[in-house]
Structure 1
Amino acid sequence: MPSEQPAWVLSRRQAIGTRVRVAREHANLTQLRLGEIVGVDHRTIHRIEYGTSDPRLGLLIRIARALDVPLSDLVR
């Protein structure tokens, strides 16, 4: 798999990250606390929010549950 992603993939990851951040802030959680809840380091949450990582579906499901939002709201 090439390390370079098409621009549209990066754009979608950034949009998902923005929705994660907005939902996290709405839930009054820090990146640190959200990471603790879902079992990852806060730097992982940061990378997701800024679109620099490619999170697995299982992690996105745990994040959605922790934020009490449907997964579809994060990845639409």
Structure 2
Amino acid sequence: MGSETIWFLPMHFPTRLIQLRKAADLTQQTLADTASVHVNQIRRYEAGTAQPTLEALIRLAQALHVSLDDLVFAEGERGPSDDLRLRFEAVSHMPEAEKSVIKALLDGMILKYQASRIMGTSSNQASS
């Protein structure tokens, strides 16, 4: 596994790390020891002056007994919006054949959106 820094962590990551560390009743030193990270790095992460590598994030999550999502993202930040969640729930009750059609439709729309972003066109231009 590489040790490249992840530069796109949310701005609230330092606060989240502090909250989780304190909720686990760990000192910075104890977290550092448990996660095999130098205590100065923990201080930098919590101060927002450094961002952990993916390897360090995994070790921190394990030491804090949380998922990577819980460590990196705020509550509700990654999930679908409420209106989409309701639609997904409705789809989950449909027969498998209908679910397959909906999945294929979603996959096609996602691919179209990603292609339009790569090509630098808006969705209106891409559908013309």
TM range (shorter): 0.7 to 0.9
Correspondent of 1:34 among 18, 27, 31: 31
- CA–CA distance in 2 between the matches of 1:21 and 1:41? 16
Q: Given the two structures, how large is their TM-score scaled by the length of structure 2?
A: 0.48
Distance 1:75 1:37 in 2: 18
Return the alpha-carbon distance in structure 1 between the equivalents of residues 24 and 70 of structure 2.
14
2:66 partner SS: coil
Q: Report the number of matched residues.
A: 67
2:21 pairs with 1:24? yes
Residue 23 of structure 1 aligns to a residue whose secondary structure is helix
Q: Given the two structures, how large is their TM-score scaled by the length of structure 1?
A: 0.78
| Correspondence list, 1:1-76, <5 A | 12-13=10-11, 15-76=12-73
* Separation (CA, whole Å) in 2 of partners of 1:22 and 1:46: 14
Give the Cα separation in 1 of the matches to 2:63 and 2:51: 19
* Identical-pair percentage: 42
Q: CA deviation at 1:62?
A: 0.6
**Any stretches of 5+ residues in structure 1 without a counterpart?**
none
Unaligned runs of at least 5 residues, structure 2: 1-6, 74-128
1:63 Cα deviation after fit: 0.3
Moved >2 Å (runs of 4+): none
Highest relative contact order (Cα 8 Å, sep 6+), 1 or 2?
A: 1
